[in-house]
Amino acid sequence: MTDRRRFLKKSITMDDLQKFKKDKLYGFHKNGKVVVKPQFSYVGKFNEGLIVVEKDDKWGFLNQQGEIVIPLQYDWANDFNDGLAVVKEHGKVGFINQQNQIIIPLEYDTTSLFVEGLSAVSKNRKEGFINKQNEIVIPLEYDYCRCFEEGLAIVLKNNKWGCINHKNEIIIPLQYNFMGNLSNGLFTVEKDNKYGFINKLNEIVIPFQYDKAYFFENGLAYVEKDGKAFHINKQGEFVKDA
């Protein structure tokens, strides 16, 4: 009796375009037959039907048939995400779609993926956020911006960290010397050389008492205090030695 699961798994694997490496260069094969000879110094992963490749310091995209659908014309490119890809040319970055149309002009120094509808961009050493229409939603007034998560973005200004919302309203005052990403509902923050944990409302959940502290994972966080390393829970209680 045929094992249908094995057959399906094998069919899916063999029908896909697979990369292979020879003499430090990448090519593609399908069902063991070479479709694209080794010629690329870098290949990414298929995302939204396209894969980014590099040859002779130029970047472009192939489809799942191994055809070049976006010419290798860019100085750098990233994977497609939500229909757009970041590309770089002449030292500036912007976004293209899968038809190689420029959606966001290549005018920024850096940019992030769009998260919660906004992308963190930088120009002239200042950062802010744009939408997919290239409208500046949050002015480029910060020294650093992280992507939005659960409606908040961590920002840095004048060497202090805090959080803003989509309207650029300050939700967590820019008063911390360090601020880690939101994890298990809490931020790791540092103030006056001590680490503690706050929630999205800037309420102190675990007091500032640690010499070092890392983010929560599976309900536990690694901390150091008075030369001892251990794990605590979200109530700040000792759980186990590190």
Name residue 238's amino acid: F
Q: So where are the chain's domains?
A: 1-108, 177-242
The whole model's pTM is what? 0.86
151: left (phi over 0), alpha (psi -120 to 50) or beta: left
Side-by-side strand order, sheet with 92-96: 76-77, 85-89, 92-96, 102-108
Question: Mean pLDDT across the stretch 49-76?
Answer: 98
> In the structure, what pLDDT confidence band is assigned to residue 150 with cuts at 50, 70 and 90?
very high
Question: Mean pLDDT across the stretch 53-70?
Answer: 98
> In the structure, what pLDDT confidence band is assigned to residue 16 with cuts at 50, 70 and 90?
confident
Distance CA 168, CA 178 (A): 20
**Tell me, what's the pLDDT at 222?**
97
User: Could you write out the three-class secondary structure of 56-82?
Assistant: CCEEEEEECCCCEEEEEEECEECCCEC
Distance CA 177, CA 171 (A): 16
Kindly report the CATH class assigned to 1-108: mainly beta
**Tell me, what's the pLDDT at 15?**
57
CATH 1.10.8 is the classification of domain 177-242: no
Question: Mean pLDDT across the stretch 174-180?
Answer: 98
Question: Mean pLDDT across the stretch 6-16?
Answer: 41
Residue 203, C-beta contacts closer than 8 angstroms, at least 6 positions apart: none
How does pLDDT run across 93-133, given as a tens digit for each residue? 999 999 999 999 999 999 999 999 999 999 999 999 999 99
Both tokens of 91, joined, read: 């030292």
